[in-house]
Structure 1
Amino acid sequence: MKKFLQYIGYFFGAVLGLLLLLFVIYFQSDKTLEELKPLYVNNESEFMPLMGMNVHYRDQGNTKDSVPLVLIHGTSSSLHTFEAMRKYLNPNRRVISVDMPAFGLTGPNANNEYSFKYYSSFLDSFLSKLNIPVCDMGGNSLGGGIAWQFATYFPNKVRKLILIDATGYPVMNVKGSLGFKIASTPVINNIMLFITPKALVEASLKGIYQDPGIINDEQITRFHDMAIAKGNRKALLNIFKKGLEQEPGKIKTIQKPTLIIWGEKDGLIPVQNASLFNRDIKGSKMAILKNIGHVPMEEAPEATAKLINEF
């Protein structure tokens, strides 16, 4: 028994030693907005004081377009995810993208509390401040979930809905992203508050894109910088620990013209979920992009934009 306890002591000592070594080697402090602005803010970027945050957004295209297209990014992403696709969108459209609270250069809200109701309230305030009474709204992944939830909370403010590999239904039997798996693992996920190596970001991106060849150093650096922007790691950890309520039953109440775009090889949210949206939203249209992963607007920006333009 004494030897057994000694072995247990050695084991936990080794684990503690390993954690300390990882902490020393990979510890990274948060990056401030002042550090990140020169890298990720361009002449089309704007900042809006709103709900205790300084919200980063881009308002591009035709300013006379009375019903703009509002685009919402997914978890751990930013408005940059739509930049490649935006170049192919109808030039007569006004296109607005925004770093959502907890992500990008907007960062966390004051209470570090997040829900679909909160995100809907945020978007309502954001659009009101831009004097936009109605819009077309599209989103990818979590952003897709936020978009359709907004359409249920504020149906009079949405004309058309675009869901790109959106959340909404239970997800099963997918390979997923390494970063998301760690963030979802109790106890271990707390390490991510201090240790977020670029290698982890790269491995996570390989679970998101079907073609790993499109992953480059600039992209890895951007995702890494956004991940360690001040307060974002704590916000993400809160989201994964508490979870955002999934309410698939509400999807059947959506009565807006809806376009469903999905990557056939999505490793995070299976393509079968596209059919569930198509089934539950009456009159919706569905398009599956072959050999494309979780972010079609990055992997196939021209094809994705073409579908949106036609819709």
Structure 2
Amino acid sequence: MLVIVGVLALVPVWIWWTYPRVGNVLFALIAWVEARRSRLKTLNVPIKGMTLATYQGGDTHAPALLLIHGFSADKGVWLGFARHFVDAYRVIIPDLAGHGKTAFVTGGDYSIAAQARRMVALLDACQVDKVHVIGSSMGAYVASWLATHYPERVLSLGLIGAAGVNLPQPNEVEALVNSGDNPFLIRTRQQFDRFFAMTMAAPPFIPEVLLAAEAQSYIKRRAELAEIFANFSDSPRMEPWLPHVRVPSLILWGREDRMVPVASAQTWLEGIPHARLEILEGIGHLPMVEATQQTVAHCREFLDKAKVYSSIRP
């Protein structure tokens, strides 16, 4: 009887221990399948001081499209979006330093300027001279830094829910951070559920086992994310440089974005000459995941026009 009781007592412990690991295996399998569907290959690209994990696909002679994910995310957020562009572009999707499969190193410098320099090094390593770039959230911050500090490398600029300017109105995330309760720095499953609810207004169905794995990953990475967050949030805001953007620019925002308020879009629109703004109703911080087809349509129309512009500009 004692043996049976002991075994039964171990069952919940075994489930707690293995459940997120099953989710991690499923995550890896789903990512592999989605990358195959999108005709993207996993390529590790050495640059000075590190190796960047990337997805890449498309004709190497086609115009290049660089997709940059946001803080705490990884290159996988672009998989469904990217499949719509591999026929016409050379698509390059990196894991930024400290994210995904690109290693975190304590004291590694995760400022926006440093992440942008790494993107230039990635382009050099891939023998890409000029690129169309689309960034999400912190990735849009990096993309705008590229466009303003390395203008000779950027053909067009797409900003999705962009971080990087002073917020024009009170914001839920900023208030939590200022109170010492950064929603990205997670200790419990309850905190992860709160964070996840803030990321998307219209999320796709995600099985519980995958959410459990993601929650465990955030808890495990808490100290790393804290250092990256401190570096990127201390970076200079973009307002002084926005008038220097000289390429076609698309600003895309979800009306229900809780991470970066939609009011911020106006700062980008007023700062960047000739920028175009599109707001998606009922959508949150990750339009390329929540409303993939709508986001693809806006970006494809924008990129088609930008390609014409880049072909005639000196």
Q: Give the shorter-chain TM-score range.
A: 0.7 to 0.9
Matched, 1:256 2:257: no
Alpha-carbon separation, structure 1, partners of 2:293 and 2:27:
28
Match of 2:83 in 1: 87
User: Is the CA contact 2:204–2:289 (under 8 Å) kept in the aligned structure 1?
Assistant: no
Pick one of 272, 281, 301 that aligns with 2:292.
301
Match of 1:244 in 2: 234
Match of 1:5 in 2: none
Length-normalised TM-score, structure 2: 0.76
Kindly state the Cα deviation for residue 225 of structure 1 after the two structures are TM-superposed. Answer: 5.8
Q: Which amino acid is 1:174 matched to?
A: N
User: Is the CA contact 1:77–1:226 (under 8 Å) kept in the aligned structure 2?
Assistant: no
Alpha-carbon separation, structure 2, partners of 1:84 and 1:244:
32
Kindly state the Cα deviation for residue 120 of structure 1 after the two structures are TM-superposed. Answer: 1.4
Inter-CA distance 222–101: structure 2 relative to 1 (3 Å threshold): farther
Kindly state the Cα deviation for residue 60 of structure 1 after the two structures are TM-superposed. Answer: 1.5
Pick one of 40, 46, 54 that aligns with 1:57.
54
Alpha-carbon separation, structure 2, partners of 1:152 and 1:219:
38
Q: Which amino acid is 1:244 matched to?
A: D
Alpha-carbon separation, structure 2, partners of 1:225 and 1:93:
36
Unaligned runs of 5+ in 2: 1-15, 303-314
- 3-state SS of paired residue (1:248): coil
Kindly state the Cα deviation for residue 215 of structure 1 after the two structures are TM-superposed. Answer: 4.5
- CA deviations 1:124-159 (Å, max 9, x no partner) are 111100000100001000000010011111100000
Pick one of 58, 71, 86 that aligns with 2:67.
71
CA RMSD of aligned residues (A): 3.1
- CA deviations 1:286-311 (Å, max 9, x no partner) are 11111100110000011101111101
Q: Name which of structure 1's ranges 73-82 and 270-279 shifts more when overlaid on structure 2.
A: 270-279
User: Is the CA contact 1:105–1:226 (under 8 Å) kept in the aligned structure 2?
Assistant: no
Kindly state the Cα deviation for residue 108 of structure 1 after the two structures are TM-superposed. Answer: 1.5
Matched, 1:233 2:229: no
Inter-CA distance 210–261: structure 2 relative to 1 (3 Å threshold): same
- CA deviations 1:47-95 (Å, max 9, x no partner) are 2233333321100123331x21100000110011111222333622221
Kindly state the Cα deviation for residue 244 of structure 1 after the two structures are TM-superposed. Answer: 3.1
Alpha-carbon separation, structure 2, partners of 1:218 and 1:95:
30
Match of 1:101 in 2: 97
- 3-state SS of paired residue (1:260): strand
Q: Which amino acid is 2:266 matched to?
A: S
Q: Name which of structure 1's ranges 36-45 and 209-218 shifts more when overlaid on structure 2.
A: 36-45
- CA deviations 1:269-299 (Å, max 9, x no partner) are 1111112211111111111111100110000
User: Is the CA contact 1:263–1:290 (under 8 Å) kept in the aligned structure 2?
Assistant: yes
Kindly state the Cα deviation for residue 238 of structure 1 after the two structures are TM-superposed. Answer: 1.4
Length-normalised TM-score, structure 1: 0.77
Inter-CA distance 38–294: structure 2 relative to 1 (3 Å threshold): closer
Q: Name which of structure 1's ranges 235-244 and 259-268 shifts more when overlaid on structure 2.
A: 235-244
Q: Which amino acid is 1:235 matched to?
A: E
Pick one of 277, 281, 306 that aligns with 2:272.
281
Inter-CA distance 224–68: structure 2 relative to 1 (3 Å threshold): farther
- 3-state SS of paired residue (1:207): helix
User: Is the CA contact 1:104–1:227 (under 8 Å) kept in the aligned structure 2?
Assistant: no
User: Is the CA contact 1:262–1:289 (under 8 Å) kept in the aligned structure 2?
Assistant: yes
Q: Which amino acid is 2:133 matched to?
A: M
Kindly state the Cα deviation for residue 197 of structure 1 after the two structures are TM-superposed. Answer: 3.4
Unaligned runs of 5+ in 1: 1-25
